[in-house]
Amino acid sequence: MRIQYDIAYGSFFLVGVGVLGITLGSLLRIRLSEGALAFLGIWFAVLGVVALLVGVGYSFVLWRHFPLRLLLLCSLLFVGTLLFEDAASRTFVDTVSLLYGLACSMLSVRWFFIIRRRFE
């Protein structure tokens, strides 16, 4: 049973770190060559979507665990913000992306280093 939680939190951790990295790279205006950016962008898009789908799927299966429900709601807010990115201000999108990346990363790290030991 614990392996399912590990997969769910690991998936959200990958998505959170990726979103956090891209958002901070955008805010700090870190320059990458176009080839490297295209290569990393394609891999992040494919792996990020797969990891997000895995995390959301396990969140539905393990719905009694409150942090997974919170991550699911944050993911829905994040995806909704990205879908309506043209209607929202750039500051709002950057803020939601930054908060989503921090929330996913911190809740996943909390699972692996604190809660997982007590969860038997």
Non-local (6+) Cβ contacts of 6 within 8 A are 112, 116
Query: How far is the C-alpha of 41 from the C-alpha of 47, rounded, in Å?
Result: 10
d(CA 6, CA 27): 31
pLDDT at residue 1 is higher than 80: no
- pLDDT, one tens digit per residue, over 62-111 is 988 899 999 999 999 999 998 988 888 889 999 999 999 999 999 999 99
Task: Classify residue 118 by burial, with Cβ atoms within 10 Å: 0-12, 13-18, 19+.
Answer: exposed
C-alpha R_g of the chain: 15
The residue type of 50 is V
